[in-house]
Chains A and B, each alone.
Chain A
Amino acid sequence: MIVAYTHVLILAAILFFIGMLCTIARRNLIMILLGLEIMLNAAAVAFVGASLRWQQVEGQVMAIFILAVAAVEVSVGLALIVCIYRQTATVDPACIESKECQLL
């Protein structure tokens, strides 16, 4: 293994943190969904790294599972966002919850 497992974990942590910030801080449902994807991918990176570190194939299998789940999630999530946008004409979650936005 060329890359040290620690580095892989650090990369995964950074990715996860970026995704988390994106999820928390952005005011756009699509970007929040994107943040979720990034966090999922951070987990997938950690799994792949662990699979390499211990020479076990289950980690890679988990990565493929995660990809599948992420794909499904994105499709469902995007569909929901489209629905919301049609109803409220906005993709800002704060605006969706407040009444002024719903009038728009």
Chain B
Amino acid sequence: MTAPLFDPISPLSLWAAGLASLAPMVSFALIMLLLRSRARQAAAVSITAITISLACAVFLFIRHWGMKVPSQFSVNWMVSGDLAVPLGVLLDPLSLLMLLVVTTICFLVQLYSLAYMAKDPGFPRYFGFMSLFAWAMTALVLSPVLLQLYIFWELVGLASYLLIGFWYEKFSATQAGKKAFIMTRLGDAAFFLGLLLLLGVGGTLNILELNQIVLPEGISGFVAALSALLIFGGIIGKSAQFPLLTWLPDAMEGPTPVSALLHSATMVAAGVFLYGRLFPFFSHSAIVLHITLLIGTISMLTAATMAMVSRDIKQVWAYSTISQLGFMIMGLGAGGFFGGMFHLTTHAGFKALLFLCAGVLIHRFHTNDMVVLGQKGARQMKIPIICTVVAAGALSGIWPFSGFFSKEVILAGLAGQSQPVWLIAGLIGVFLTAYYTFRLIFIILLPKSFPGGDSQEPGNDSAPANTVMAVPLVILAAITLLLGFFQDPLQSFLAPAGGHGSGHGPAWLAPSALSLAIAAVALAWVEFGRKNARQIGFVENIKPLYSLFSNRWYLDHLYRWGVHNLLDNGIAALCRKNDDHVVDGGVHALGNSIMAGARRTAGWHRALIQRKLMVIFAVVFGLTLIMLVFG
């Protein structure tokens, strides 16, 4: 390598990056150590910290706009023999963009939480965990080395566990927290194995070195593919992809702002971010790309079908997150680096918006059920409903919202694949997404029956809280509206060569995707929106399909069955048998035989005096004989 992989980082940028990731950490420590019982100070500290982070992120983003060569700074944190573990900061377009996204969403969510969590007794603890989350995520995004990334990856998992189970008095919340933690751990184990493989064979975990056009010395194509697959296991867990997707819908047990954070910019985004981070490394092997494409497609379609039948507003958005993450992974798997990352960015905006709006409604009406929400008159809350519609338009990929642009890039990438099946799957996904999104919108906006007489008027008691909550909503809605028009500058920033990210697909693609989405909206209108609509979807009329979808394809049952039969009754039972019979049995047999032998030997000594004498004589004669023969 003649050209260096990276520039040294300038001191000012280093300070800014360090500040961006360390400010939330300091805030976390402060809150947890000193401010556990001081709600106002805790919130102030946390929001100050995230504001500093946001300012640093904006500063870095502007300062490095248009950078060509990534800059990296690292120090050795631990040295053991040949192995050195560096920590540091990597600034390149991807990390800058993600840093900006993460800090923005964290900032807005924390602002929103001020009102949403105001009366919660765990208020300071909540902000402490939020800071932990922000710290872990910013440090993850800035990691130049996979090991550092892995450390913060786990911290993100921990923070989400703490926040999902935030209301720990609720049994279902603790269960959901555990489920999230354990299921993502399953993927993380694979991720860690992949890292060990890379480290053992290639001796490097540096992201820039792995991402070179030529694989680093010592890493064969097979090893690279295998470790990429293992790392993808971690992505599956974190981003709730197909085999490990059931934790995410349960994760809505946490407070709604947490879901907003979790589903948009932090936890699940970390998985897709990792894929983007290592994208050149992944794309060394076509098979790996195809596997990821397949996993993404399966997740996208299954999750979309699940969302079609759920009545819980948060759950619908949770399924749609899985579906959209699958869509991003499809985009990346099809070789569209920019598409995946752009969709990640736009999705972060509109999904946070959707959850925050849902939070306002839930906060006001104390129910998650969309039918009840509609009947209680949710449509009278102007700002959240308008914002929801904006975000829903983005989610469905309708012009001019941001989702339209990013989906189009991904679809263009899929159209570039040799088999048309991926593109068809992508278009089906677009159709389903628009359908379930507007199913929800119509159910809430156009309630059909008012069993409780006239609906309650939204009172003025929570008006100030609503204004605080409305600010992040409006900001996010503006972002959702405008972000799509920044596609070209972002593309030239993120993927300047344009090698992987194909610009626009065939001319028919965007109109057809848009018309599909509109057709889906129309279908939703016919079924849920128009007058005299029965508000029963076509899926709900087909009983087996309905039960399949609403039981999440029986995935949880399958896992339960698998855990019960394979783990508990299979491996665990075998291990217990081994423990009981082989290990314990061996030890017992050894002990028993020694005891029996000792007893028998002791018998000679314990017995009748004459027998003792006989022994003594025998020994004396024996010794004499031995002395005579050998002496």
Contact = CB atoms under 8 A, between A and B. Distances in A.
A93 B617 contact: no
Interface stretch (B122-130, B299-307, B309-317, B607-615): B607-615
Interface string A14-47: 0000001001110000001000000000000000
A97 B609 CA distance: 9
B617 A20 contact: yes
B608 A94 contact: yes
A interface majority secondary structure: helix
A93 to B, nearest CB: 6
A23 B611 CA distance: 10
A33 to B, nearest CB: 12
Interface residues of B, number: 6
Interface size on A, as a range, is under 10
B610 A23 contact: yes
B196 to A, nearest CB: 69
Nearest to A36: B613
Interface of B: 608-610, 613-614, 617
A45 B614 CA distance: 23
Contacts of B610: 23-25, 32, 93
Contacts of A93: 608-610
B616 to A, nearest CB: 10
A97 B613 contact: no
A94 B608 CA distance: 6
A9 B19 CA distance: 104
A-B pairs, top 5 by smallest CB distance, nearest first, are: A24-B614, A24-B610, A93-B609, A94-B608, A24-B613
Contact of A97 (B608, B614, B617): B608
Nearest to A27: B610
B542 to A, nearest CB: 87
A30 B613 CA distance: 16
Interface in A51-104: 93-94, 97
8 contacts: A20-B617, A23-B610, A24-B610, A24-B614, A24-B617, A32-B610, A93-B608, A97-B608
A41 B617 CA distance: 17
B613 A23 contact: yes
A25 to B, nearest CB: 7
Contacts of A25: 610
Contacts of A24: 610, 613-614, 617
A41 B608 CA distance: 25
Given A24-B614, A24-B617, A25-B610, 11 more contacts: A20-B617, A23-B610, A23-B613, A24-B610, A24-B613, A32-B610, A93-B608, A93-B609, A93-B610, A94-B608, A97-B608
